[in-house]
């Protein structure tokens, strides 16, 4: 498995290497749906970076100062901030940086890109991690992208992500992170589609806003919401927000 791969080279059924979002995008592309140009920085890159910089031992030290379940939120937050600094300060292997820079420059040149988390546990049937890991928009050039790649890696260890893993019974210390780098596509509207409503399996849900998507995901703006018949696509209900704003 390489450090970075284009979407059409991603292996099927390898969410442990390309993450939940990566696997979903690979499937959409395979089915013929149009998706933005996409590269995936695999979990191998994350693990090689962590092991090469000696971060695994330091992370274990931070999270084993006392029994994790007995740590106060303030202690978890402090530990997560120290781990974040480790990711920002640790040197990246020269061969990895070169491979990333070449692939990113060849695919995106200096165009606007988005960097998104794709941890293996994300977007699964049992847990989603929605909003717990970092994503960044409006990035330009390999250096900017790689700098934010480190921040996405570090967000695996945010206080919210750590507490969520504890709550759902995942082994914190075996976590890893793949990262998606995608062409940023400007649009007049954007949104989220649930092909199956988690509450009503025979319904689909579309939520959309004017402009770009982050304010919807972050809960800063109320969307238009459509409930659909999952089998026919027929609109069952439409809920309008009190106001509609344009977000960039």
- Contact between 191 and 209 under an 8 Å Cβ cutoff? The reply is yes
High-pLDDT (> 90) share of the chain, %: 44
For residue 159, pLDDT over 60 is answered with: yes
For residue 129, pLDDT beyond 60: no
Cβ atoms of 204 and 197 within 8 Å: the answer is yes
Contact residues for 224 (Cβ-Cβ < 8 A; gap 6+): 207, 208, 209, 238, 239, 240, 241, 244
Q: How many helices (H) and strands (E) does the chain have?
A: 8, 10
Give φ, ψ of 107 to 5 degrees. -85, -40
- The rounded distance, in Å, linking the Cα atoms of 81 and 83 is 5
Please give the pLDDT value at position 247. Answer: 53
In this predicted structure, the answer to whether residue 49 has a pLDDT above a threshold of 90 is yes
Q: Which of 29-33, 135-139, 188-192 has the lowest mean pLDDT?
A: 188-192
Give the three-state DSSP class for 235.
strand
- Cβ atoms < 10 Å from Cβ of 240: 10
Q: What is the pLDDT of residue 131?
A: 62
pLDDT category at 215 given cuts 50, 70, 90 is low
pLDDT at residue 188, rounded to an integer: 80
pLDDT at 164: 81
Predicted pLDDT of residue 40: 96
pLDDT at 127 over 70: no
Using one digit for the tens of pLDDT, what is the confidence trace for 5-46?
Answer: 998 887 777 888 998 889 889 998 988 888 999 999 999 999
> How confident is the model at residue 174, as a pLDDT?
77
**What pLDDT digit, counting tens, does each position of 62-113 carry?**
888 888 778 888 898 999 999 999 999 999 999 999 999 999 999 999 999 9
Residue 180 vs residues 55, 105, 128, 134, 136: alpha-carbon distances, Å: 22, 15, 16, 11, 11
Using alpha carbons, select from 48, 47, 29 the residue that is nearest to residue 38. Answer: 29
- Give start and end residues of each alpha helix (H) in the chain: 15-30, 43-52, 55-63, 73-89, 94-108, 142-155, 159-168, 214-217
Alpha carbons 164 and 51: distance in angstroms, whole number:
24
């Amino acid at each position: 498995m390489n450090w970075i791969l284009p979407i059409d080279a991603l292996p099927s059924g390898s969410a442990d290497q390309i993450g939940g979002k990566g696997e979903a995008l690979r499937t959409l592309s395979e089915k013929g749906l149009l998706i933005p140009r996409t590269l995936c920085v695999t979990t191998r890159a994350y693990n090689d970076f962590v092991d090469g910089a000696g971060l695994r031992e330091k992370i274990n030290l931070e999270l084993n100062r006392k029994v994790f379940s007995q740590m106060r939120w303030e202690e978890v937050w402090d530990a997560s901030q120290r781990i974040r600094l480790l990711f920002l300060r640790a040197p990246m292997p020269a061969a990895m940086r070169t491979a990333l820079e070449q692939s990113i420059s060849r695919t995106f040149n200096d165009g606007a890109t988005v960097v998104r988390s794709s941890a293996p546990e994300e977007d699964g049937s049992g847990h989603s991690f929605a909003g717990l890991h970092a994503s960044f928009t409006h990035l330009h050039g390999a250096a900017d992208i790689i700098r934010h790649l480190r921040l996405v890696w570090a967000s695996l260890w945010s206080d919210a992500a750590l507490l969520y893993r504890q709550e759902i019974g995942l082994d914190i210390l075996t976590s890893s992170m793949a990262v998606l780098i995608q062409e940023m596509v400007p649009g007049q509207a954007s949104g989220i589609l649930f092909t199956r409503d988690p509450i009503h399996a025979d319904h689909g849900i579309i939520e959309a806003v004017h402009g770009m998507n982050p304010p919807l995901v972050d809960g800063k703006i109320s969307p238009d919401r459509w409930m659909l018949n999952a089998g026919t696509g027929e609109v069952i209900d439409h809920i309008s927000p009190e106001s509609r704003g344009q977000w960039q």
